[in-house]
Structure 1
Amino acid sequence: MTASETLLRDLSDDEARAALPLKWGSTSPDVLPAWVAEMDYAVAEPVRDAVCAAVLASHTGYPALDAGGALGTAYAGFAERRFGQRIDPALVLPVVDVTAGIRLVLDVLCDPAPVVVPLPAYPPQLAVVGITGRERWDLPVSPDAERAGIDLDRLDALLAAGARTVLLTQPHNPCGHVYTRTELEGVRDLVLRHGARVISDEIHAPLVLPGATHVPYLSLPGTAEHAVALVSASKAFNVAGLRCAQVLCADPATHRRLAGAPEVRNDSWSPLGVVGAIAAYRHGDAWLDALLARLDDQRALLGELLATELPQARWRRPEATYLAWLDLRGYGVDDPTGPALRHGVRLSPGTDYHPGLPGHLRLNFATSPERLTEAVRRLAVSLGSGSGPR
Structure 2
Amino acid sequence: MVSALAALEEAYARRAQEGPVVGYVGADVPVELLTAAGLRAIRLTGDPESGSEPGDRYLGRGVDPAARSVLTRLLDGAFGDLHRVVVAHDCEASLRLFYALRELRRVEPGRGLPEAYLVDLLHLPHRTTARYNRRRVGEFAARLEAWTGRELDLAGAVAAHDERRRLLAAVAELRRAVPARLTGRQFLAVANAVLPVTEHFALLARLLSEADRLDEHTGRRVFLSGSAHDTPHVYEAIEAEGHVIVGEDHSFGDLAVTGPVGTASLDALAEHYHRGILTAHRATPGARAAYAAAAVRRCRAELFVAYCRESDEAPAWDFPAQRAALDIPAVLLEHQEYGRADLTALRKEDPCPK
Please classify the TM superposition score into its range, dividing by the shorter chain length. Answer: 0.3 to 0.5
TM-score w.r.t. structure 2 length?
0.33
Structure holding more helix per residue: 2
User: Which entry has the higher C-alpha Rg, 1 or 2?
Assistant: 1
